[in-house]
Structure 1
């Protein structure tokens, strides 16, 4: 009994330390360039929540400064059991990066609309006709390691996007335009910014149109179209969440655009987004909570766009081949090695 109580206290202390570290990491985003780099990094680790991607980033940076890893930015991260599944072993002396992992329960009900729901015991199967759902009940600390902290079998080499100067990835413009149309908006082009009040792009909810200026290079036009598609998906009339604070809509739309382009390995250094700390600090809530909740809306929207695109994209942070290895040997991966972190 005493041991269980001690384990609970240790877990709570680790969670408190993780929240404090996350708050420090968000507080360190003091410039537009810092925020852009955070978005670009999260795009390459988009399978994980914003909070977990930030935690991985700051812990890897500390490991780099201490000389424990060779590169300042992580490449692929996975749990201990997942690396073993890929034929790799964590090197002796390498500390893992602590992140938040979900604690879930399996719930069943004969009538999902009316309930009641009951928890399934370990190894228990649902009765015939019962609906099973997984419910998030909390978080726990878990550990992941970068590939540079492991040794073993080589990883598969995924295809990488190849771009010319100023070019957009093949199929990106058409894929984005198709999604705009699927949301019921018509595409328009104007010769230059003068046609849309000096802007690069414009979403008109009343006329259900998206307009992009034609006198930009293809990469800039694709970025602008992704920005406008984010407005279509997130900021239409009646969307209370978008209207809660001035500037949130533009921050979200630009962040979605940057994540979409960064996921195609397009250099977004020419583009900036408004620094969020200014408006986040003026909201009557925890600024860390504001930033992480907003970023997770961005992440979900970007993922929804990327999943519908038939384009070559950079990896999402998980080692190449892991999804197939898990599919073939699901029992080999312990619960303590989450592939995807929960939104914080």
Structure 2
């Protein structure tokens, strides 16, 4: 492919800026629409499962997937697994004909080189050019560009391996360990209590409420799991004190 003419480059830049502007408007609209609703929580849960995506991009994906579901283009109301076009091909899958991708904000980085990392100056490195003798190179975020991803339901091909999921610790616990950890919690001025199931603390294994100075652990687990949860609690590790409410 030859180089673009100035007019072609200007047109491409205008199209890119228009897509970025549309993505930012869609993001703002998604935040407004999800505020105070279950959709916002689902977006947070989706972002937690796929932390390689920024939270803004998670919101964009969830909002666009919901639109695709309402239009009948996808079979599920929420996205499950998303990837770029080449990534799906690498996994042996192909985007279905007629399925448009979801626009996200991809980072644009620039390489800079200098012979003096402490004082600079740093010079941008043109694409394909390496550093000079004695120079070091760093990448910096310089902007964003529109990119596209597709949900697995918009593709066909090889089966996707099941993702690993966390499992509760099973088995017996060392004698006296619970009492020792509990003594640290109580000694720090907190009440320690147990609830019958995770439903009593919002689905978590444990919860520290710093406003009421209460630590709660679910009781429907093997002996080793509550101890693991209590050991993970920030009160048992002074360097990990956290504000507000901390689920574990």
Whether the 8 Å contact between 2:111 and 2:138 is mirrored in structure 1 is yes
Instruction: List alignment gaps of at least 5 residues for structure 2.
Output: 1-5, 171-181, 193-206
Q: Quick check: which has more Rg, 1 or 2?
A: 2
**1:106 counterpart = 2:111:** yes
Greater Cα offset, 147-156 or 54-63? 147-156
1:120 Cα deviation from its structure 2 partner = 1.4
1:86 Cα deviation from its structure 2 partner = 1.5
**1:120 counterpart = 2:125:** yes
Whether the 8 Å contact between 2:185 and 2:235 is mirrored in structure 1 is no
Whether the 8 Å contact between 1:201 and 1:224 is mirrored in structure 2 is no
Change (3 A) 1:136 1:126: same
Change (3 A) 1:126 1:62: same
Change (3 A) 1:187 1:156: farther
**1:90 counterpart = 2:110:** no
Alignment-derived partner of residue 217 in structure 1:
219
Which one has a larger percent strand, Structure 1 or Structure 2? 2
Structural mapping, 1:128-277, within 5 Å: 128-162=133-167, 169-170=168-169, 188-190=184-186, 195=191, 201=208, 213=215, 216-217=218-219, 222=229, 250=244, 257=247
Change (3 A) 1:202 1:75: closer
Q: Once the two structures are superposed, what CA deviation does each residue of 1:12-48 show, in whole Å capped at 9, x if it has no partner?
A: 1111111111111111233264443332121112211
2: CA distance, partners of 1:39 / 1:228: 26
**Bigger relative contact order (CA 8 A; separation at least 6):** 1
2: CA distance, partners of 1:187 / 1:127: 60
SS of the residue 1:160 aligns to: coil
Cα RMSD for the two superposed structures: 3.6
Alignment-derived partner of residue 15 in structure 1:
20
1:138 Cα deviation from its structure 2 partner = 0.5
Instruction: List alignment gaps of at least 5 residues for structure 1.
Output: 163-168, 172-185, 205-210, 236-248, 262-344
1: CA distance, partners of 2:241 / 2:113: 32
Alignment-derived partner of residue 319 in structure 1:
none
SS of the residue 1:189 aligns to: helix
SS of the residue 1:127 aligns to: coil
2: CA distance, partners of 1:132 / 1:24: 39
Change (3 A) 1:32 1:73: closer
Alignment coverage as a number of residue pairs: 211
User: Could you list the runs of 4 or more consecutive aligned residues of structure 1 that deviate by over 4 angstroms after TM superposition?
Assistant: 218-229, 231-235
TM-score normalised to structure 1 length: 0.53
Alignment-derived partner of residue 72 in structure 2:
67
Change (3 A) 1:80 1:12: same
Alignment-derived partner of residue 38 in structure 1:
43
TM-score normalised to structure 2 length: 0.71
2: CA distance, partners of 1:101 / 1:30: 24
